Amino acid sequence: MNIITISREFGSGGREVGKRIADILGYAYYDREIITAIAEKHDFNENYVESMLENGFSFCMPITYGRTFSYSDVGGQQAIQLLSTQCRMLREIASKGNCVIVGRSANIILEDMNPLNIFVHADIESKLRRCRERAPENENLKDSELRRKIKQIDSNRAKHQRFLSEKKWGDKEGYHLCVNTSGADIKAISSIIAEYAKGYFESK
């Protein structure tokens, strides 16, 4: 199987990059579907599941994935339970065939399956502009509030990976390809990345 994982800064366009790459290559694409599946399995609200997976690890001490999970805190135990389900689902998804998986620390969880790991980032002005373009009509955050939101979400993503691995989220050493989308045409960039992916998998 050819597996591509997309890690991304909030507002950088990583989700769009992942979807376009999947479409070009004819790969299955997974993003929100993972949260939906976890929520259905545990009979939880999707927003609750997403919040626990992004924020719940403040209850826990960092560990390396694969060690025994044992925590007395209820919030921490809930986060661990959801994480365990997420790990199983990601491995099931990856075993089915060629795919692109956005987020969920898939680059770490699927490390033994040798995925192509991509990190998408952008400067703050580009991220602010993208967030504005895609914001719900009723969201009217000031720039300072939006900056804090972006910083908090990225911090939570880093915390999620730190719980699983000593590899730092966003550190170029942990990825095969880092892509800066600042002021770029994401459609054009995605085509180039897809060609890179083809060459990467052909050379394996």
Write down the pLDDT at residue 71.
44
Report yes or no on 203 lying in a domain.
no
Report yes or no on 35 lying in a domain.
yes
86: CATH: 3.40.50.300
Q: How many CB atoms lie within 10 A of CB 180?
A: 14
Would the pLDDT of 66 be above 50? no
Report yes or no on 42 lying in a domain.
yes
Write down the pLDDT at residue 74.
46
Report yes or no on 204 lying in a domain.
no
Q: What is the pLDDT of residues 20-38, one digit of tens each?
A: 999 999 999 999 888 888 8
- Give me the phi and psi of 134, to 5 degrees please: -110, 10
Instruction: Using pLDDT thresholds of 50, 70 and 90, give the confidence band for residue 168.
Output: very high
Share of the chain above pLDDT 70, in %: 89
In sequence order, the 6+-apart residues with CB closer than 8 A to the CB of 92 are none
Between residues 54 and 18, which one has the greater pLDDT? 18
C-alpha span between 44 and 184 (Å, rounded): 38
Report yes or no on 178 lying in a domain.
yes
Nearest of 184, 186, 146 to residue 15 by alpha carbon? 186
Report yes or no on 107 lying in a domain.
yes
Q: How many CB atoms lie within 10 A of CB 77?
A: 16
Give the neighbor-by-neighbor strand order of the sheet with 116-121.
Answer: 28-30, 99-102, 3-8, 116-121, 177-180
Report yes or no on 20 lying in a domain.
yes
Question: Could you give the number of structural domains in the chain?
Answer: 1
Report yes or no on 10 lying in a domain.
yes
Domain that holds residue 82: 3-196
Write down the pLDDT at residue 203.
92
